[in-house]
Chain A
Amino acid sequence: MQFAHFVLTRAGMAIVTLLLVSFIVFSLMEMVPGNCAERYLAYKNTQGQGITVEDIEAEEKRLGLDRPFLVRWGSWIGNVFVRGDFGESCILRVRINELLGTKIWISLGICFVALLFAYLIAIPVGIVSATANNPLANNALRFVSYLGLAMPNFLLALMIMLFSTMVFGDSLTGLFSKEYRDAPWSLGKLMDFLSRAWLPIVILGWSATAFALQTVRALMSDELGKLYVTAARARGMYGRRLLWRYPARHALGPIINSLGFDLNRVFNELPIVAVILTLTEAGALLLEALARSNDQQLAGAIIFMLTAAIVALNFFTDLLLSIIDPRMRRSVMGG
């Protein structure tokens, strides 16, 4: 009952956040000088077509740009929420959904999986290393994770490419082999994708792991020194049961909390890695949309998708947190 209440409250808050984000994104899209009709026709003009003011007005009417701002925001967000439709790209005159297609999902998927790997490694290793008194293992771990923190992703990507070119004769760039690039999805294409997708995942996951590992270790060391751990030992708890049910459980809260923030960080790193590995199917799309075509419809859609992913992730981490830490549940509902 109480938990259901919490879930509903949090879901409501997530939706309000999304609406707010959509408003900000839409306003940003509007702030760019000139509207869609003007920009499209101006573009046509450069192709040698003569245009008149009437043409622009007709186009505005066709696109519904003559309606007030709030109404246009409402219809935009309505389409996004109800049908998942981001409308048409201004310049390319293609449906944005077609343009984004699987690319946005591949991008987000790579980030999610990289994050998942990072935490799956960082949580147990961090917890064990905080409890182990093996200086050699701890120093080795520290070395590796500092390396991960200090080394830029693009450098790691370049080094792996260099290495694999020398050893395997394949630079491992791109997300698909030539024969599958434009082929429709099939089992073969999926296997091909997986055989290549691990590289950006490892590269993105590497620094995320290093980062998370340091956090987990620090939090765990902190919890281990707390009185309730001594008190539990004084009651006869020991070994793994003590470790996981007491300090580890309490150290996990802040770690889970940082997931949303980390997704954003990883997504921001994706474009650079994507450029180096020439992953045309991921990441670079946003940069491209902004730089080449000045297409804010597309850019807005991407920003909205990313924010929605982060909001959704935060919603789930909040639920997880509330299961782990009862104080969370109370804090939202005020008592």
Chain B
Amino acid sequence: MSGGGALIEVEDLTVRFRTDEGLITAVESTAFRIAPGEVLGLVGESGSGKSVTAKSLMQLNAGNTLYDPASRISLHLDGRTVDVLGLKRARDLMVVRGGAISMIFQEPMASFAPGITIGRQMVEQLELHTDLGKRAARDHSVEMLERVGISDAGRRFDQYAFELSGGMRQRAMIAMALSTRPRLLIADEPTTALDVTIQAQVLELMKELVAEFGMAILFITHDLGVIAQTADRVAVMYLGRIVETGPVRDVLRHPAHPYTRGLLDALPKLDALDQPLTPVPGDIPSPLERPSGCVFHTRCPEVIQDRCGVELPTSMEVGERHRASCLRLEKAGELVTG
């Protein structure tokens, strides 16, 4: 799966926003790749740049966004490569917007237009991306609604988002996202707004669909528990940088970066409920006061005085396909947990 067979490759992605206070860096020199059929979990606190990274794949960030010239996003589709950031016209962008890439959002209620039926929004998308006629587009949409477990799909097709329950809305959203058969699904906290039981159902459904449709997923969440259930690989993001990445089990069992360890320690453990939770100390710094050196050094419990605030850590191999960026790792690998 590694190497040349990637579906999408992100290289040296740097995203800045033009604001009244000046340029704000949201994502810095980020690189990752997703293979066909692979589920990559992107984890981090709010404000870590997860969503900005994901939206970059569709050029969906707001009008004041600047992509650094060195940034590259390549989408590999059957024999051709699309330079995503090089797409300029909205018509050309359709390949990454609803064509080869679909996206589902955190708020299923807010992602449907309130005054247009669910079916109409689905058909509209199919008309843009496929050659299906009205009738066929309708049939296909109803079929998709049925596939994601919506009962009475023919009736639901003509309903509005406010007439559906939360879980059903997210199912409908998934049905809509998958109806164009994308190669990559971006799921931006798709279960955060749902009840825990519904959350489990939706996750189960997504896993099934990955297998059935053979598509890749970029799964964004702040919840490591969700990642453990769904992802093949995980990338941990902090202040716009990926600090650690690797196979899910390996990263969760042997976290190499202090931030990943912090996130894991912040989770409640069922076998040690009396043990107090240890949150990552401090708050995520304001984007206007971006730390120099290692971005995490202002909150890091293992900070090396005089070095972490100055030197930029390089990505070190700490296991099989498991990498982390921390100066402690560079010191002869003494802190690599085994």
Chain A positions near chain B (C-beta within 8 angstroms): 133, 226-228, 230-239, 245-246, 249-250, 253, 324-327
Q: Residue-by-residue, is B60-77 near A (CB-CB < 8 Å gives 1, otherwise 0)?
A: 100100000000000000
Q: Residue-by-residue, is B40-58 near A (CB-CB < 8 Å gives 1, otherwise 0)?
A: 0000000000000000001
Q: Which of B102, B111, B113, B128 contacts A250 (CB 8 A)?
A: B113
A133 to B18, CA, bound (A): 14
Any chain A CB within 8 A of the CB of B115? yes
Interface size class of B (residues with CB under 8 A): 20 to 34
Specify which chain A residues have a CB less than 8 angstroms from the CB of B107 in the assembled complex: 227
The answer to whether A238 touches B160, judged by C-beta atoms less than 8 angstroms apart, is no
The answer to whether B63 touches A231, judged by C-beta atoms less than 8 angstroms apart, is no
Any chain A CB within 8 A of the CB of B208? no
The answer to whether A237 touches B105, judged by C-beta atoms less than 8 angstroms apart, is no
Specify which chain B residues have a CB less than 8 angstroms from the CB of A235 in the assembled complex: 97-98, 102, 121, 124-125, 128, 176
7 A-B pairs closest in CB distance:
A238-B90, A236-B98, A231-B111, A227-B110, A235-B98, A236-B94, A236-B97
Specify which chain B residues have a CB less than 8 angstroms from the CB of A238 in the assembled complex: 90-91, 93-94
Specify which chain B residues have a CB less than 8 angstroms from the CB of A231 in the assembled complex: 103, 105, 111-112
Any chain A CB within 8 A of the CB of B116? yes
Specify which chain B residues have a CB less than 8 angstroms from the CB of A227 in the assembled complex: 105, 107, 110-111
A-B contact pairs, 19 of them (CB 8 A): A133-B63, A227-B107, A228-B111, A228-B112, A230-B111, A231-B111, A234-B103, A235-B121, A235-B125, A236-B98, A239-B90, A245-B124, A249-B115, A249-B116, A253-B115, A326-B160, A327-B114, A327-B115, A327-B160
A246 to B91, CA, bound (A): 18
The answer to whether B113 touches A228, judged by C-beta atoms less than 8 angstroms apart, is yes
The answer to whether A236 touches B128, judged by C-beta atoms less than 8 angstroms apart, is yes
Specify which chain B residues have a CB less than 8 angstroms from the CB of A133 in the assembled complex: 63
With contacts A227-B105, A237-B128, A327-B160 taken as known, whether A232 is within 8 angstroms of B90 at the C-beta atoms is no
Specify which chain A residues have a CB less than 8 angstroms from the CB of B94 in the assembled complex: 236, 238
What distance in Å separates the Cβ of A323 from its nearest Cβ neighbour in chain B?
9
Specify which chain A residues have a CB less than 8 angstroms from the CB of B99 in the assembled complex: 236
Q: Residue-by-residue, is B79-110 near A (CB-CB < 8 Å gives 1, otherwise 0)?
A: 00000000000110110011100110101001
Q: Residue-by-residue, is B109-151 near A (CB-CB < 8 Å gives 1, otherwise 0)?
A: 0111111110001001100110000000000000000000000
A237 to B112, CA, bound (A): 13
The answer to whether A226 touches B98, judged by C-beta atoms less than 8 angstroms apart, is no
The answer to whether A236 touches B115, judged by C-beta atoms less than 8 angstroms apart, is no
A80 to B220, CA, bound (A): 66
The answer to whether B125 touches A236, judged by C-beta atoms less than 8 angstroms apart, is yes
What distance in Å separates the Cβ of B150 from its nearest Cβ neighbour in chain A?
18
What distance in Å separates the Cβ of B230 from its nearest Cβ neighbour in chain A?
21
| Nearest-neighbor residue (CB-CB) of A328 within chain B | B115
| Residue with the greatest number of chain A CB neighbours at <10 A, chosen from B58, B63, B113, B116 | B113
| Nearest-neighbor residue (CB-CB) of A326 within chain B | B160
A227 to B99, CA, bound (A): 19
The answer to whether B124 touches A237, judged by C-beta atoms less than 8 angstroms apart, is yes
Any chain A CB within 8 A of the CB of B162? yes
The answer to whether B128 touches A232, judged by C-beta atoms less than 8 angstroms apart, is no
A232 to B161, CA, bound (A): 14
